[in-house]
Structures are given as structure tokens and as C-alpha cells.
Amino acid sequence: MNAWRRSALLGIALVLSNTLTASAQTAGSAFADEATAALRAGKPLPGLLSSTPDTAGQQLRSLAEAAPNRYVLLLQQFLSANGVYSGKASSILDVPTIRALFSFCDRTGISAACLNGPLLPGTAEALGRAIAGGQPQTAATAPAVPKPASRPRAESASQGEARNPAKDWLGQSGNQDGIAIEASRSNSQEVRFHLAGTTSRSGVGTLYLSGRTDNPAKAGETWQLKARITLDDADGPQRWLITQISLFDKNGHFIAPLDQAAFTLSPDKPSTDIDLNGTISQPDAAFIRTMIGFSYAAKEAIGLDLDVQTQGLKKTGATEK
């Protein structure tokens, strides 16, 4: 084949490639508008996804970029319909949603992409491809994600016992999916968590920065949390984390996040500053609590420290009645 013909064929291939890419991107851009119309009509969003993996990937990517809440709602509806999520379709990327999502990622072989964070465009595209082209997960073939074990109540100060950081801050067992977790506190403004072990599956672990009943709260109050979070994991991968102020009712049941922030930490960027705040509107809110969720892969050997410098939750205002 002479040089001219080879050059012509390469040019044609490039044009075709660009045309296909542009077509997929156009389909993805229009998907955000389709999702809005479907939502107004009360139709489930997953049914809008293309059966072609490339197009479905672009659709979810564009939705995550243009309308993150609708993107989360679509994922919740999909995961619920396929038996891996038992919570509400709330449009809120809370910890139960993240755990169900990681379970789906693990089963479809895209855990590496999901570890970068559910809201990243690349993760959304990988999810769209997996949903359209892979192996459908049904309630009959895929067990539901187990519900978190009920956590013990924070011990009353009237018992006269010294506060146990591991029991108080973690709020549950000090072992999650094979990761042993120890909490310590050198002063009133620093909490340090040591994590070690080999994980039994991919998922999201949960650390709490206060006891369950340490911060009574009610509707109309405004709360804020400022903190610097540092990951000491010199040889580890980039890790996705989420920090969330969570609302609980008087019986200790989770209601909703008040505010949250997702971010990644790595040896090249080990620290980040967060500033969460919000005003409580839920009438059944009784307590407020801060948690940190951290991602891990299946069979991952973990040995890291997470340092949190904060003055804790602060009530900054209240609505006059």
C-alpha cells in the first residue's frame, strides 16, 4: 500500500472516529433534558438509558455533570430495581447509596473506576457502560446489600466511666470488612484513626467524630463543621472520601445528611480543608453527628492513619419562633 493510500485511509478512519465520538457526546448532552422531562412526568429514569454501552456512558456522564441530583436519583432507582439498594430514592448521595453503588461496581468489575468517587465524570461513564452492557443484577440473582448492624447507644456520663474513644467515635464495632480501626485523641481538637487489615470486599467504611447523643439538635438550628483532614498513607493509592453532617431522630435512626463534601486524598495531596454547614428543616431531628466515609477495594491490604483536626460541630444560629 503506497503512502498516499495509507494516509487517505487513516484520514477516513479519523473522520469516522470523530463522527462517532461527536454523536455519542450529542446524545449524552441531550440526556439531561430528557431526564428532566421524565422526572416531571413521574417516569423512572433508568428506562431512558441507551442499550448501547458507549452512548449510555456518555448519557450518565453528561447527567452527572449537568444535574448531579438527578444522576444520583437514577442510580438509586436502578440499584433499587435490581435488589442492591433498599433505601429511599432521595437524590442524596448518602452512605447507604454509596455502599450499594460500590457493591454493584464490585460485581461488574469496575471497582477501580468507582474508587475515584461516584460523582466524577469518568466514574459516571463507567457506570453507564456497565449498566447498558453488562450483567443485569436482579433481586433473584443478587443478594441485597446487608443493612448496617444497629449501633450501641452512647454511654451515659452518669455511669462515671471514662470515655472510650473507639466505642464513642466509631459508634459500632471497631472492625469493618476486615479492617481493624482504632481511635485516639491527643487533645480536644484532634482525632486520629488507625486502620489496618486486608479487606474482605470493596466498599465504604464509616468513622464518627462524636457519640450518637453528644449533639442534641432540632429544626431551625444552623450547624457548622470546619476541619482539616490528613491521610498518612505514603504507599497507598488515591482514596475517595466523603464527610457528612448527619441528622438522627430521637430513636437514633438516620434521617438525612445536613451537608456533605466529597474529595480525594493521596500521597501527592494528603490534606484537605472542609467547611460544612446547614439549617435543619426536618421536624423529627433530635441529634446531629459527623461521619467520614472512606473507600477501599476488595482484598486490599490497608495500613494508614487518618488525622482530623477540628473544634467539632458548632451551633451557629437558630430560627426564631
Q: What is the pLDDT of residue 275?
A: 95
Q: What is the pLDDT of residue 146?
A: 35
Q: What is the pLDDT of residue 321?
A: 53
Q: What would the grid cell of residue 241 be?
A: 472520601
- Please, are residues 310 and 271 in contact by the beta-carbon 8 Å criterion? no
Sign of the alpha-carbon torsion through 11, 12, 15, 16: negative
Question: pTM above the 0.95 mark?
Answer: no
3-state secondary structure of 171: coil
Q: What would the grid cell of residue 40 be?
A: 416531571
CA atoms of 93 and 185, how far apart (whole Å): 30
Sign of the alpha-carbon torsion through 103, 125, 115, 223: negative
Helix (H) or strand (E) holding 196: strand 190-198
- Please, are residues 45 and 70 in contact by the beta-carbon 8 Å criterion? yes
As its CATH architecture, domain 162-318 has Sandwich (2.60)
Q: How far is CA 114 from CA 144, 171, 297, 312, in A?
A: 19, 26, 9, 30
Spans of the chain below 70 pLDDT:
1-29, 134-174, 319-321
Q: What would the grid cell of residue 282 be?
A: 426536618
Q: What is the pLDDT of residue 278?
A: 92
What phi and psi, each to the nearest 5 degrees, are found at residue 79?
A: -65, -35
- Please, are residues 278 and 286 in contact by the beta-carbon 8 Å criterion? no
- Please, are residues 2 and 35 in contact by the beta-carbon 8 Å criterion? no
CA atoms of 272 and 289, how far apart (whole Å): 20
- Please, are residues 38 and 107 in contact by the beta-carbon 8 Å criterion? no
3-state secondary structure of 181: strand
Residue type present at position 90:
S
Q: What is the pLDDT of residue 74?
A: 93
- Please, are residues 116 and 202 in contact by the beta-carbon 8 Å criterion? no
Domain boundaries, the chain: 10-133, 162-318
Q: What is the pLDDT of residue 140?
A: 33
Q: Which of 115, 72, 99, 76 is nearest to 205 (CA)?
A: 99
Q: Are strands 287-296 and 190-198 parallel, antiparallel or unpaired?
A: unpaired
Q: What is the pLDDT of residue 69?
A: 85
Q: What is the pLDDT of residue 235?
A: 76
CA atoms of 219 and 209, how far apart (whole Å): 22
